[in-house]
Amino acid sequence: MSKVKSAIITTLLVLAIAVAAFFAVISFPVENNVKRLNSIASNINLGADFSGYAYTTIYPEGVITAETYENIEAEKYGDKTDDEDKDKQSNYAEVGGLYYDTTKYEDLNDLKCKVACDAKSLNERFGQKGYSSYTVAVEDGVSIKISVPTNYTYAAYKGHDSSSQNSNFTTVNSVLSSLTAYGELTLRTTDESISLSNGTNYDTTVRGNDDWVEIAKVDGKNTYSLADKYKYKDETEADFFKSITSSTIGGVSRITFNFTDLGRTRFKEITTRAYSSESKTIYFCVGNTVLINYSCTATTDAKSLTLQATDATFVENAAITMNSAVNGGALKLIYQDYENALTTEAAGGENAALLAFIASIVVLAGLCALMIVKYKKLGAVVSMIAVVFALVITYALFLLNIQVTYAVIFTAVLLLGLFMFSNAIVFAETKRMTESGRTMQASVKDAYKKVLMTVTDMHIVLVVVAILLATVGVGEVAACGFISLVGVIASYVLYWFTRFMWYALSSPVRDKFAFAGLKRVVYEDD
Amino acid sequence: MTKFKVCAKIHLFIIISAIVIAIGLAIGTICHFCAGGFFNYGGEFTDYKSVTVRYYLPVTEDEALSVCDDALGGLKQFEFAKPETDKGGEITYKFVTSTDTAKLEEAVAKINETLGVRGDLNKNCAAVHTGTVKEGGNKAITFASIALAAAAAFQFLYFIVRYKLRAAYSALLACIHNLGVFVALVAITRIPVGAEMIAFGAAVVFITMAFSAIFFDRTRKNFANEKYAKSERLEVLDNSACEVRMLTFTSVCALAAAALVFAVFAAIAQMFAGALAPWALIILGLVAVGYGAMFFTPAVHGAIDETCEKVIKSLKTRKKKKSAKTEKPADLSDGD
């Protein structure tokens, strides 16, 4: 390759790296409505270690905090200070740092049992969300505290991107409120022609039409769940639904209701009536929370019903909650209205994300320095490609919405190590070849040939492991799997790109041995 | 180190690994019954006692914090959170369950006394809570195990095709061994374990597979090399192990150094030793992988290879004897 070609290729590559690196790491103000252009790195979603938790506590009806208790008592008794007198009259008894209504819950142990049971159900529901970390804790035996990662980006966490912060906060609140929905799954309608109710006397209508007992009625603000009261003897939701699942492919989210044979028959009856009604709409509710509605455009007579939606999170939440409700995970108690979550600072410290980023740069610089010391200009070539590799990982984390945690960072470092390791193997082989007196070109060619299968085998095995982790694993493991998949492929592609750059950059150089930090071995003739 | 022959010392490595795993299992089992878990579970998995302080404006966060710090001065918390709201904020201190409740209540009374404004609806209020954490992560462990088992099965099949059955067995054993040693070391050292432990376990298997591919590839090449044509199989294996050892050692050290860099920065970010836990786990994983890749795997492969060779030899001898027996009467009949 000529000097000019080599120079052009090098310049183009360096320019591309510089531009990509600039947008990857530099955030800067701009003079328009956007105000600030945040870097790619600062737009990567962070786990709780780097952006904190959002948490909420749910209290069963009749359970109150010490603060509320004090307020109630203060309102009730004003300036009275006789504590004994208060205790005598108060309906509330203390349990840990909380108070419960003794008239509502005569048996505290029964309340504690139900709360523990509900916490178990919630733990299972949140477990299906695939969070890198989350906690469901029973506090004082009578309340449930749930913590999930905020999923903020660095820009959102630091307040540089308020729209992203608001959007993430809304998502977290929607997840927490949907997944903590209490009560059984019911199908409801506001249309009397579907429920065959006359709007005032439900009993007569329902009794007169047993086919419709699982359809309840939503009437303005007052919700009447007739399902519990009038369902067939020994019938439960599980008799109608096998499972409720969700999936998102190509930006389209789907929720699928898998019916039992009985459920199929019932749903056919329901949709037949709904189709010929005015509103045609059936609401799927858990307790009093409407999770999804179905507009009947035809009679449904199938093993399953699939509905489409655009919001993946919403569909997933609805599916998890409804599936839990139909499979014995319905919350047993009635809980107070959901309060917006509170967000904590990063579990790893206020500046954990920034310092982890600096540490990543230090590690990258250290590895590059090691390669340069050992392989001189060839080391510089590998270092340049290592920077490309780091950029690929950064952009992949951003584009694939992978939540960065300690494990993901370590996986990224591991993959960088894999790339360096692959190159180190071929460099060691080249060195061995040159020691046998071959020319540099012949050594490089033979070395790449010799280690071809070693490197390929390694990458094939690892890419399969990565695919399995990404597809079968959940939460942090799946995130590590996804980034491993990208990293292993990038490592293999860039391994060959290093070969090309080695060729391109060393072509104009006269002493190719010195370029790779090697010494020419000259055998003297006998 | 590059000249250290491992194949002859298989028993030593088996003993070392067995001791480490046995100690780990013993400590883990004892702790499971006596100290709350096989591992020392970190904040997200452990039960706690907490002090929650709600304050409302005009009380500022700094004021509330200073009151809390005064009251809780002598008590050591393991987690701390101070989310703010538009009306004020909430401060939560988490303590281990063994913390004296009376002391916490005393501190809470002090906080309430200083911050509380009786008769005001927006009352500043502190309370002691006891939290029981529901163990999460079961699903993550199950699915990660399925993924890793499937990966190990794939590696087994791939290695059968690429490097023969005995190498596939050794690689499978290496994965199990390294994961076992890692789990044992985590149980022994009692480093606080979080959700990332599952991902680190997967990483251990991931690195083991990479090193196994390198070692078995080198072995195969050396067996095909004329230089080793007259050498014993064990000698070839030993030489192969020696050839890749430096590369393995350098890689493990480089990764450990990287983990140390992250640990230092994490410690700076969080300002307490707990921040080091994930990185300490990584270093334990690297120790397990390094030991496995440099010593255990080649030694075990040597033993498996030797056993296989013996079996093949004995089968051949038996076959020869059999054929000799069947040939003899034929000769006699010819002679006749």
Main-chain phi, psi angles of B102, to 5 degrees: -60, -40
Q: Which residues make Cβ contacts (< 8 Å) with residue A31, sequence separation at least 6?
A: none
Least Cα distance to B291 among B179, B149, B156, B170 occurs for: B179
- Residue A264: the pLDDT is 84
**CA A213, CA A187: separation in Å to the nearest integer?**
10
Q: For all residues of chain A together, what is the average pLDDT?
A: 82
Residues in chain B: 336
- Residue A393: the pLDDT is 95
Least Cα distance to B13 among B291, B304, B305, B307 occurs for: B291
Q: How far is A465 from chain B (nearest CA, A)?
A: 5
Q: How far is A143 from chain B (nearest CA, A)?
A: 9
**CA A340, CA A284: separation in Å to the nearest integer?**
24
Interface contact A415, partner B, CB < 8 A: no
Burial of B49 (0-12, 13-18, 19+ CB in 10 A): buried
Interface contact B196, partner A, CB < 8 A: yes
Say if residue A384's pLDDT is above 90.
yes
The side-by-side arrangement of strands in the sheet containing A135-139 is A342-343, A53-58, A143-149, A135-139, B125-134, B48-56, B88-95, B79-81
Question: Among all chains, which residue has been given the structure tokens 């309906």?
Answer: A91
A259 phi-psi bin (left φ>0, alpha ψ -120 to 50, beta other): beta
On the CB side of A177, CA atoms within 13 Å amount to: 17
- Count of helices and strands (H, E) across chain A: 17, 17
Q: How confident is the model over A267-326, as pLDDT tens digits?
A: 887 788 777 777 777 778 787 778 888 888 888 888 899 998 878 888 999 999 999 988
DSSP assignment letter at B47: -
Q: How far is A100 from chain B (nearest CA, A)?
A: 14
Average pLDDT over residues A90-117: 89
Q: Are A105 and A111 in contact (CB under 8 A)?
A: yes
Residue A80 CB neighbours (<10 A): 12
Least Cα distance to B84 among B105, B53, B112, B46 occurs for: B53
Q: Are A488 and A499 in contact (CB under 8 A)?
A: no
Q: Residue A508: helix, strand or coil by DSSP?
A: coil
Please list every residue in chain B whose beta carbon sits closer than 8 Å to the beta carbon of residue A122.
134
Residue A283 CB neighbours (<10 A): 17
Distance of CA A107 to the CA centre of its chain: 39
Q: Which residues make Cβ contacts (< 8 Å) with residue A125, sequence separation at least 6?
A: A179, A320, A321, A324, A329
Q: Which residues make Cβ contacts (< 8 Å) with residue B98, sequence separation at least 6?
A: none
- The reply to whether residue B262 touches residue A366, judged by beta carbons under 8 angstroms, is no
Please list every residue in chain B whose beta carbon sits closer than 8 Å to the beta carbon of residue A352.
266, 269-270
Which residue has better confidence, A18 or B84? A18
Q: Which two tokens stand for residue A55?
A: 């948490």
- The reply to whether residue B257 touches residue A351, judged by beta carbons under 8 angstroms, is no
- The reply to whether residue A345 touches residue B81, judged by beta carbons under 8 angstroms, is yes
pLDDT band at A89 (very low <50, low <70, confident <90, very high): low
**CA B246, CA A421: separation in Å to the nearest integer?**
12
Least confident of A414-418, A425-429, A440-444, A512-516: A512-516
**CA A190, CA A198: separation in Å to the nearest integer?**
12
Interface contact A27, partner B, CB < 8 A: no
Interface contact B164, partner A, CB < 8 A: no
Instruction: Report the relative pairing of strands A215-219 and A143-149 from DSSP bridges.
Output: unpaired
Q: How far is A267 from chain B (nearest CA, A)?
A: 32
Interface contact B266, partner A, CB < 8 A: yes
Average pLDDT over residues A351-371: 92
A 328-357 residues with CB < 8 A to B: 342-345, 347-352, 354-356
Q: Residue B39: helix, strand or coil by DSSP?
A: coil
Q: Residue A44: helix, strand or coil by DSSP?
A: coil
CA distances from B206 to A411, A421, A458 (A): 10, 14, 10
Q: Which residues make Cβ contacts (< 8 Å) with residue A78, sequence separation at least 6?
A: none
Q: Which two tokens stand for residue B89?
A: 């904020």
Domain A3-37+351-515 - what CATH class?
A: mainly alpha
Q: Are A436 and A445 in contact (CB under 8 A)?
A: no
Q: Are A266 and A272 in contact (CB under 8 A)?
A: no
- The reply to whether residue A406 touches residue B275, judged by beta carbons under 8 angstroms, is no
**CA B255, CA B267: separation in Å to the nearest integer?**
18
CA distances from A411 to A417, A464, B174, B299 (A): 10, 15, 20, 28
Per DSSP, what are the bridge partners of residue A478? none
Longest dimension (CA), chain B: 125
A 129-168 residues with CB < 8 A to B: 132-141, 145
Q: Which two tokens stand for residue B9?
A: 């010392």
Residues forming CATH 3.30.1360.200 domain(s) in chain A: 181-330
Q: How confident is the model over B210-268, as pLDDT tens digits?
A: 899 889 988 988 888 888 888 888 888 988 899 888 889 988 999 999 999 999 888 88
Sign for the pseudo-dihedral over CA of B117, B118, B120, B121: positive
- The reply to whether residue B44 touches residue A133, judged by beta carbons under 8 angstroms, is yes
Asked if the interface predicted TM-score (ipTM) of this complex is over 0.85, the answer is no
Least Cα distance to B102 among B56, B51, B55, B165 occurs for: B51
Say if residue A87's pLDDT is above 60.
no
Q: How confident is the model over A186-242, as pLDDT tens digits?
A: 777 666 555 444 343 333 223 222 333 344 443 333 343 444 433 444 445 556 788
Distance of CA A98 to the CA centre of its chain: 33
**CA A438, CA A440: separation in Å to the nearest integer?**
6
**CA B213, CA B163: separation in Å to the nearest integer?**
9
A131 phi-psi bin (left φ>0, alpha ψ -120 to 50, beta other): beta
Q: Which residues make Cβ contacts (< 8 Å) with residue B193, sequence separation at least 6?
A: B39, B40, B41, B42, B45, B186, B277, B281
DSSP assignment letter at A61: T
- The reply to whether residue A413 touches residue B155, judged by beta carbons under 8 angstroms, is no
Helix/strand/coil (H/E/C) assignment for every residue in A451-463: HHHHHHHHHHHHH
Q: Are A476 and A133 in contact (CB under 8 A)?
A: yes
Residues of chain B with pLDDT under 70: 1-2, 43, 116-123, 135-139, 271-274, 328-336
- Residue A130: the pLDDT is 81
Q: Which two tokens stand for residue A109?
A: 């142990």
- Residue A212: the pLDDT is 34
DSSP assignment letter at B70: H
Of the candidates B143, B146, B210, the beta carbon closest to that of A418 is on B210
**CA A193, CA A186: separation in Å to the nearest integer?**
18
Residues forming CATH 1.20.1640.10 domain(s) in chain A: 3-37+351-515
Q: How confident is the model over A395-406, as pLDDT tens digits?
A: 999 999 899 998
Q: Are A465 and B151 in contact (CB under 8 A)?
A: yes
Q: How confident is the model over A134-184, as pLDDT tens digits?
A: 889 999 999 999 999 998 999 999 888 888 889 889 999 999 988 998 887
Q: Which two tokens stand for residue A480?
A: 């590590």
Note the CATH number of domain A181-330.
3.30.1360.200
DSSP assignment letter at A152: -
Least Cα distance to A438 among A350, A312, A316, A523 occurs for: A523
Q: Which two tokens stand for residue B25?
A: 């299992």
Helix/strand/coil (H/E/C) assignment for every residue in A334-369: CECCCCCCEECCCCCCCCHHHHHHHHHHHHHHHHHH
Please list every residue in chain A whose beta carbon sits closer than 8 Å to the beta carbon of residue B82.
344-345
B 39-58 residues with CB < 8 A to A: 43-44, 47-48, 50, 52, 54
Sign for the pseudo-dihedral over CA of B106, B111, B114, B120: negative
Of the candidates B131, B158, B254, the beta carbon closest to that of A137 is on B131
